[in-house]
Structure 1
Amino acid sequence: MRNDLSVAFAGVSGAGSILRSSEPASLSPVASQAASLLEEAADLLVVHMDFAAVVDRCEKGCESLLGELASEDSRSCEELKCSLCIVGIQALSEMNRWREVLPWVLQYYQAPAYLPPKVLELCILLHSKVKEPHVMLDVASDWLHASANQHLLTYSLLVQLHLFHILLPLGHFAEAQEMVEGCKTLSKEQRLEARRVIKEKRQQWLQQTKEHPDSEEQAETAWKAPLGSVSKKVLTILAQLGRVLGSLAGQLGSIPYKTALLAAFMLFLIVVKLDPASPTSLPFVYRLTQLFHQARLAVFSPQHRPAV
């Protein structure tokens, strides 16, 4: 999956500003090594497009920084790790390995609440683009509810991303409305715009619900769709089997009932070649059960009818 490289470029340029604003001698040896890995990863991403090598460099850089975050230049290390994660996310998405992005990032942070705003923003946009916003639902919610993040300058931006790219696509309109009313960082104009979009999306959602069949019809279509022409063939065999059972109904009285039932059922499975435990087999097994029930009623009187 090819994604817009501008986000990754932003992360790389941000790392460049870190290096320019800090003298190389002021960085610890580990941080200097991580900065070199970041520059190498950026070059591999932009020039050589060797995305696997990019992920390798970013992993080495992030792992080397894990023990340096308590040092005096912890701020520079945090920014370096953030930039490495942004470049790594871009490389993973370029290889269509976007499902690995969130677990890959979280291994370098203690919890979702500690994710840098830039990394969270990129993850939300990525999962929104691939139509999987539910993956980020709990992660973004935990981040927004963390008190330490509510004072950040980018908090209102993350609130809007959570609203427009996660809650509304998932149909969580009540939660979206509650967030808009409870978020103090949103301006008056942003609140009005958010209310307008929520109202519009709710109307669209209700309209789509009216136009589409209910869930039961969709479930019925779901199991019928993969059968195709096979279902017609099976139903034809069932009809023929029913006629055979009807013609033999007069002779079934002389055969033990349980033996006849088992033999007919095994014959059905051999001819149709269906797995009784498969969900696609259930409608046909149910039809066969009805045929057996009809044969049982035709052969035996109520007083001598054996239990099934």
Structure 2
Amino acid sequence: MSSPAMSEDFTAVFNPPMSTTQIKQFDILEEATEQLILFQDFHASFRLCERGLDILTHEEKEDVRGELKAGFCIVGIQALAELNQWPGVLDWVLQSYEHQENIPAKIMLMCILLYSKVGEPKVMQEATRAWLDSPSNRRLDRYRPVAELYLLHILLPLRLTDYAREIVTGEVGSAAAFTEAQRRLALTIIDDESGKTGQDDNGDDALVITKGGSTKGSLLQKVEALLKLSHRRLMSASGSFPFHKLILAAIIVYILLLRLDPALPSSFMWISRLHQLLRQMWNVAVAPYSPTRKE
């Protein structure tokens, strides 16, 4: 369980500071993350997420409530995926947000990538289209990434080329603010897809629509590798070392405050910095005392 001192240290990051009830909710989120990452007790992590979401139903401050709800859902989705219960992820998310168009963009992106990874993109077809058709969502900064993943990870794998053209040239494409060059490239990819027998060949070309890098191979995999590396190094230290609390808190703050988007290449800069920071902290504070250190 999180120490009160640590939670109080991080309340200063929020403006206005969190209430006592909100601090307890943050502690539950931290514990759920700890169970997921350090102890790999995915059942316990998921139960904590459900407990946190239940408590949030009584939270009146919508801004804080929304961020914590998203945090619990993100950890819960990962726990369900680790338990191989991914078929129920979308239904579970809808228990918190009721309607498909109310799902936050970062969770929608995560769900698209998850179902694409397990080879079931059709599960997200209706939900994503409903999300994209919502006028309120068209004002969001992440509207275009959702439209791009809908095109690349749902429509093209399902060979729904007519719908794909509609996305690029219709209202969704206009709302997503695709440039003329992006539209031409997308239409070329859609035309090429009709004559291809596999999905992998077009993926590498298609992903250049997102300026600045590729989403294939998923940034989520890079985050997972980073967390597993941190886990191995922490567990190699002798005894119980409270240093992991600081690492968990840092990860949660990065996710909630910087709003890391697993579908945007720009997120890698922040993750890379976090990785470097953790390595430096390990080398200075822990590595010299590790029993595996060679004399």
Short-chain TM bin = 0.5 to 0.7
**Superposed, which structure 2 residues align to 1:66-85 within 5 Å?**
66-68=57-59, 71=60, 73-85=61-73
Describe the superposition over 1:273-299 as per-residue Cα deviations: whole angstroms up to 9, x where unpaired. xxxxxxxxxxxxxxxxxxxxxxxxxxx
**Identity across matched positions, percent:** 37
Map of 2:87 onto structure 1 = 99
| d(CA) in 1 for partners of 2:160, 2:57 | 37
1:30 and 1:64 in contact (8 A); partners too: no
Structure 1: runs of 5+ lacking an equivalent: 1-17, 207-308
Map of 1:175 onto structure 2 = 163
Structure 2: runs of 5+ lacking an equivalent: 1-9, 199-295
Alignment partner of 1:22 is 2:14: yes
| d(CA) in 2 for partners of 1:179, 1:114 | 20
Map of 2:106 onto structure 1 = 118
- Please say which structure displays the higher CA radius of gyration: 1
What TM-score comes out, normalization by structure 1 length? 0.57
Give 1:60's match in structure 2, choosing from 33, 45, 51: 51
The 10-residue stretch of structure 1 (26-35 or 154-163) with the greater mean CA deviation from structure 2: 26-35
Alignment partner of 1:156 is 2:144: yes
Map of 1:146 onto structure 2 = 134
- Over 3 Å counting, the alpha-carbon distance change for 1:100 and 1:19 in structure 2 is farther
> Per chain length, whose mean CA-contact separation is higher, i.e. which structure has more relative contact order (CA < 8 Å, sep 6+)?
2
Alignment partner of 1:130 is 2:118: yes
- Over 3 Å counting, the alpha-carbon distance change for 1:20 and 1:130 in structure 2 is farther
Give 1:201's match in structure 2, choosing from 193, 207, 210: 193
Report the 3-state secondary structure (helix = DSSP H, G, I; strand = E; otherwise coil) of the residue aligned with 1:136: helix
| d(CA) in 1 for partners of 2:25, 2:192 | 47
Deviation at 1:19?
5.1
> Over aligned residues, Cα RMSD in angstroms?
1.8
Alignment partner of 1:36 is 2:24: no
| d(CA) in 2 for partners of 1:30, 1:106 | 25
| d(CA) in 1 for partners of 2:130, 2:12 | 34
1:30 and 1:65 in contact (8 A); partners too: no
- Over 3 Å counting, the alpha-carbon distance change for 1:189 and 1:195 in structure 2 is same
Describe the superposition over 1:197-251 as per-residue Cα deviations: whole angstroms up to 9, x where unpaired. 2112112159xxxxxxxxxxxxxxxxxxxxxxxxxxxxxxxxxxxxxxxxxxxxx
Deviation at 1:189?
3.0
* Letter of the 1:55 counterpart: F
Deviation at 1:192?
2.4
**Superposed, which structure 2 residues align to 1:187-266 within 5 Å?**
187-204=179-196
Give 1:87's match in structure 2, choosing from 43, 61, 75: 75
| d(CA) in 2 for partners of 1:63, 1:204 | 47
Counting matched residue pairs gives 185
| d(CA) in 2 for partners of 1:102, 1:155 | 19
